[in-house]
Chain A
Amino acid sequence: QKEVEQDPGPLSVPEGAIVSLNCTYSNSAFQYFMWYRQYSRKGPELLMYTYSSGNKEDGRFTAQVDKSSKYISLFIRDSQPSDSATYLCAMIRDYKLSFGAGTTVTVRA
């Protein structure tokens, strides 16, 4: 079993819809939680960073962490075609990032 599980999708939504992405993890030692966005043939770009349970908002993005359930989510409101990318959840233990497999999202105009 992988330490970080993420549904690879793909996920296709119409423009303006809410995108909901999720990851589960097995190791309670993970302390910091991140979401990265990766466009084709590019490196991952840090979107959201949090270390506590609860919600964190940044513009159209909301990251949610539930440490008791070992579950993290990312919501994208008012999705745009430019949001089409692969979204990777990631978490840190001992200064190493462990990633999910990534969910490919397509926002249809």
Chain B
Amino acid sequence: DTGVSQDPRHKITKRGQNVTFRCDPISEHNRLYWYRQTLGQGPEFLTYFQNEAQLEKSRLLSDRFSAERPKGSFSTLEIQRTEQGDSAMYLCASSFIGEKLFFGSGTQLSVL
């Protein structure tokens, strides 16, 4: 399968714990995006990378959130000191140049 891969698919954690998600984009895609989706809503933009450079972050991305894309390959999204409001589906997408974004299956986070 050469699509966007996300790991884990599901994560249950207790409030206050740190969590990290991984995304492997489609090979040769230079842009990588993170989105968050809550029930009944469309995905909301969090941040994106062009190669290894993080070019934009949404104001939704508080200082508890950090994302990296070392060497312009896979990416990680870390949430520190999780809160119940962080419960959502975290989606990763990749694109070549920028117009057509292809999404992974997402990581469903539940904060208890």
Binding site for B on A (CB under 8 A): 4, 6, 8, 32, 34, 36, 41-46, 49, 51, 88, 90, 92, 95-102
Seed contacts A41-B106, A88-B42, A96-B33; 18 additional CB < 8 Å A-B pairs:
A32-B99, A34-B100, A42-B106, A43-B4, A43-B93, A43-B106, A44-B43, A45-B103, A46-B103, A51-B99, A95-B31, A95-B98, A96-B45, A97-B45, A97-B101, A99-B43, A99-B44, A102-B40
Q: How far is the CB of B86 from chain A (nearest CB, A)?
A: 18
Please report the C-alpha to C-alpha distance between residue A105 and residue B20 in the assembled complex, in whole angstroms: 33
Nearest-CB residue, chain B, relative to A97: B101
Known contacts A49-B100, A95-B48: A42-B105 contact under CB 8 Å: yes
Q: How far is the CB of B91 from chain A (nearest CB, A)?
A: 6
Binding site for A on B (CB under 8 A): 4, 6, 31, 33, 35, 40-45, 48, 56, 89, 91, 93, 98-106, 108
Chain A residues touching B, majority SS:
strand
Please report the C-alpha to C-alpha distance between residue A43 and residue B102 in the assembled complex, in whole angstroms: 9
